[in-house]
Amino acid sequence: MPENVKSLYSVEMRINGEKKTIRVRASETLLHTLRDHLGLTGCKPGCENGDCGACTIIMNGLPFKSCIMLAVEAEGQNITTAEGLVDSPVQQAFVQKQAFQCGYCTPGFIMNCQGLLDAHPGADDETIRLWLESNICRCTSYEEIHEAVMSAFTSENAEKLVPGKLGKEDGVGRHSSHTGSHGA
Protein backbone atom coordinates (compact mmCIF):
# COMPACT_ATOMS: atom_id res chain seq x y z
CA MET A 1 0.00 0.00 0.00
CA PRO A 2 1.45 3.43 -0.92
CA GLU A 3 2.60 5.51 2.07
CA ASN A 4 0.21 8.40 1.31
CA VAL A 5 -2.84 6.07 1.38
CA LYS A 6 -1.92 4.69 4.82
CA SER A 7 -1.92 8.15 6.34
CA LEU A 8 -5.49 9.00 5.30
CA TYR A 9 -8.33 8.98 7.81
CA SER A 10 -12.00 8.58 7.08
CA VAL A 11 -14.10 11.39 8.58
CA GLU A 12 -17.89 11.42 8.59
CA MET A 13 -19.76 14.69 9.13
CA ARG A 14 -23.00 16.33 8.13
CA ILE A 15 -22.38 19.36 5.93
CA ASN A 16 -25.26 21.66 4.99
CA GLY A 17 -27.66 18.87 5.89
CA GLU A 18 -25.94 16.12 3.87
CA LYS A 19 -23.94 13.27 5.37
CA LYS A 20 -20.42 13.20 3.91
CA THR A 21 -17.55 10.77 4.37
CA ILE A 22 -14.18 12.17 3.38
CA ARG A 23 -10.65 10.75 3.48
CA VAL A 24 -8.17 13.32 4.84
CA ARG A 25 -4.61 13.59 6.09
CA ALA A 26 -4.27 13.89 9.87
CA SER A 27 -2.75 17.37 9.51
CA GLU A 28 -5.37 18.75 7.10
CA THR A 29 -7.46 21.66 8.33
CA LEU A 30 -11.22 21.67 8.06
CA LEU A 31 -10.92 24.80 5.89
CA HIS A 32 -8.91 22.98 3.24
CA THR A 33 -11.11 19.88 3.43
CA LEU A 34 -14.23 21.97 2.79
CA ARG A 35 -12.62 23.89 -0.07
CA ASP A 36 -10.41 21.27 -1.73
CA HIS A 37 -12.42 18.06 -1.26
CA LEU A 38 -15.98 19.39 -1.32
CA GLY A 39 -15.72 22.57 -3.41
CA LEU A 40 -17.30 24.69 -0.65
CA THR A 41 -15.37 27.88 -1.26
CA GLY A 42 -17.53 30.21 0.85
CA CYS A 43 -15.11 29.75 3.74
CA LYS A 44 -12.00 31.66 2.73
CA PRO A 45 -8.33 31.26 3.62
CA GLY A 46 -7.12 34.51 5.12
CA CYS A 47 -4.72 34.59 8.02
CA GLU A 48 -4.66 30.77 8.45
CA ASN A 49 -4.22 31.26 12.22
CA GLY A 50 -7.72 32.07 13.50
CA ASP A 51 -7.51 35.86 13.59
CA CYS A 52 -9.46 37.20 10.60
CA GLY A 53 -12.66 35.10 10.59
CA ALA A 54 -12.82 34.69 6.79
CA CYS A 55 -12.98 30.92 7.28
CA THR A 56 -15.87 30.93 9.78
CA ILE A 57 -18.34 28.05 9.62
CA ILE A 58 -21.11 27.01 12.02
CA MET A 59 -20.63 23.73 13.82
CA ASN A 60 -23.40 22.42 16.06
CA GLY A 61 -24.90 25.91 16.21
CA LEU A 62 -21.72 27.84 17.06
CA PRO A 63 -19.27 29.72 14.83
CA PHE A 64 -15.84 28.11 14.46
CA LYS A 65 -12.77 29.20 12.55
CA SER A 66 -12.11 26.31 10.21
CA CYS A 67 -8.48 27.27 9.54
CA ILE A 68 -7.44 26.27 13.08
CA MET A 69 -9.45 23.08 13.32
CA LEU A 70 -8.26 19.77 11.95
CA ALA A 71 -10.69 17.96 9.68
CA VAL A 72 -10.39 14.82 11.83
CA GLU A 73 -11.75 16.85 14.78
CA ALA A 74 -14.98 17.36 12.83
CA GLU A 75 -15.86 13.65 13.00
CA GLY A 76 -19.61 13.30 13.64
CA GLN A 77 -20.25 17.06 13.68
CA ASN A 78 -22.99 19.11 12.02
CA ILE A 79 -21.45 21.84 9.89
CA THR A 80 -23.07 24.69 8.01
CA THR A 81 -21.04 26.67 5.49
CA ALA A 82 -21.92 29.89 3.70
CA GLU A 83 -23.37 27.77 0.89
CA GLY A 84 -25.90 26.43 3.41
CA LEU A 85 -27.17 29.93 4.20
CA VAL A 86 -27.96 31.11 0.68
CA ASP A 87 -30.88 33.56 0.79
CA SER A 88 -30.98 33.48 4.60
CA PRO A 89 -32.30 36.56 6.44
CA VAL A 90 -28.73 37.37 7.48
CA GLN A 91 -27.44 37.23 3.91
CA GLN A 92 -30.41 39.33 2.73
CA ALA A 93 -29.67 41.93 5.43
CA PHE A 94 -26.04 42.17 4.26
CA VAL A 95 -27.20 42.80 0.69
CA GLN A 96 -29.88 45.32 1.70
CA LYS A 97 -27.47 47.27 3.93
CA GLN A 98 -24.61 46.98 1.39
CA ALA A 99 -22.41 45.59 4.16
CA PHE A 100 -19.57 44.54 1.86
CA GLN A 101 -17.20 45.89 -0.75
CA CYS A 102 -14.84 43.30 -2.18
CA GLY A 103 -16.86 40.49 -0.57
CA TYR A 104 -13.91 38.34 0.49
CA CYS A 105 -14.68 38.51 4.22
CA THR A 106 -18.47 38.64 3.80
CA PRO A 107 -19.21 34.90 4.08
CA GLY A 108 -17.26 34.75 7.36
CA PHE A 109 -19.18 37.72 8.74
CA ILE A 110 -22.49 36.18 7.66
CA MET A 111 -21.62 32.89 9.36
CA ASN A 112 -20.53 34.65 12.55
CA CYS A 113 -23.70 36.77 12.57
CA GLN A 114 -25.88 33.69 12.04
CA GLY A 115 -24.10 32.10 15.00
CA LEU A 116 -24.83 35.19 17.07
CA LEU A 117 -28.51 35.12 16.13
CA ASP A 118 -28.73 31.42 16.95
CA ALA A 119 -26.90 31.67 20.28
CA HIS A 120 -28.16 35.06 21.46
CA PRO A 121 -31.40 36.02 19.68
CA GLY A 122 -31.98 38.90 22.11
CA ALA A 123 -28.42 40.26 21.97
CA ASP A 124 -28.00 43.93 22.78
CA ASP A 125 -25.91 46.42 20.82
CA GLU A 126 -22.81 45.90 22.98
CA THR A 127 -22.95 42.11 22.56
CA ILE A 128 -23.30 42.48 18.79
CA ARG A 129 -20.30 44.82 18.59
CA LEU A 130 -18.18 42.49 20.74
CA TRP A 131 -19.21 39.47 18.68
CA LEU A 132 -18.22 41.23 15.44
CA GLU A 133 -14.69 41.85 16.73
CA SER A 134 -13.74 38.29 15.82
CA ASN A 135 -13.95 39.08 12.09
CA ILE A 136 -11.77 41.50 10.15
CA CYS A 137 -12.74 43.55 7.11
CA ARG A 138 -10.12 45.74 5.49
CA CYS A 139 -12.24 47.59 2.95
CA THR A 140 -15.63 48.60 4.36
CA SER A 141 -17.09 50.26 7.41
CA TYR A 142 -18.11 48.06 10.28
CA GLU A 143 -21.17 50.29 10.68
CA GLU A 144 -22.84 48.77 7.61
CA ILE A 145 -22.07 45.30 8.95
CA HIS A 146 -23.49 46.27 12.36
CA GLU A 147 -26.60 47.67 10.66
CA ALA A 148 -27.03 44.43 8.71
CA VAL A 149 -26.94 42.40 11.93
CA MET A 150 -29.42 44.74 13.60
CA SER A 151 -31.65 44.48 10.54
CA ALA A 152 -31.52 40.68 10.65
CA PHE A 153 -32.50 40.80 14.33
CA THR A 154 -35.50 42.99 13.65
CA SER A 155 -36.51 41.71 10.21
CA GLU A 156 -39.83 40.05 9.61
CA ASN A 157 -37.83 36.85 9.10
CA ALA A 158 -36.26 37.01 12.58
CA GLU A 159 -38.81 34.54 13.96
CA LYS A 160 -37.15 31.89 11.77
CA LEU A 161 -33.87 32.39 13.62
CA VAL A 162 -34.45 30.04 16.52
CA PRO A 163 -31.56 29.42 18.93
CA GLY A 164 -29.79 26.18 18.08
CA LYS A 165 -31.73 25.68 14.84
CA LEU A 166 -28.73 25.25 12.54
CA GLY A 167 -26.85 21.98 12.46
CA LYS A 168 -28.89 20.17 15.09
CA GLU A 169 -31.66 18.64 13.01
CA ASP A 170 -30.48 15.06 13.29
CA GLY A 171 -28.48 15.05 16.52
CA VAL A 172 -25.32 13.62 14.90
CA GLY A 173 -22.39 14.18 17.26
CA ARG A 174 -21.39 17.01 19.55
CA HIS A 175 -18.16 18.96 19.83
CA SER A 176 -17.22 19.70 23.41
CA SER A 177 -14.65 22.44 22.90
CA HIS A 178 -15.42 25.64 21.06
CA THR A 179 -12.39 26.94 19.19
CA GLY A 180 -14.11 29.53 17.07
CA SER A 181 -15.30 33.06 17.38
CA HIS A 182 -16.90 33.12 20.82
CA GLY A 183 -18.08 30.76 23.49
CA ALA A 184 -21.76 30.56 24.21
- The pLDDT tens digits for 26-62 are 999 999 999 999 999 999 999 999 999 999 999 999 9
Q: Do 140 and 74 have their domain in common?
A: no
Q: Do 78 and 89 have their domain in common?
A: no
Q: Do 92 and 155 have their domain in common?
A: yes
pTM: 0.79
Q: Do 42 and 78 have their domain in common?
A: yes
- E-strand ranges in the chain read 8-15, 18-25, 56-59, 62-65, 78-80
* CB burial of residue 5 (10 Å; 0-12, 13-18, 19+): exposed
Domain C-terminal end among 60, 82, 104:
82
* Number of structural domains found in the chain: 2
* CB burial of residue 15 (10 Å; 0-12, 13-18, 19+): buried
Q: Do 45 and 97 have their domain in common?
A: no
Q: Do 17 and 66 have their domain in common?
A: yes
Q: Do 99 and 61 have their domain in common?
A: no
Domain C-terminal end among 21, 53, 82:
82
Domain that holds residue 94: 85-160
In a domain, residue 184? The reply is: no
- pLDDT digits over 67-89, tens only? 999 999 999 999 999 999 988 88
Using DSSP bridges, classify how beta strands 18-25 and 56-59 pair: parallel, antiparallel or unpaired: unpaired
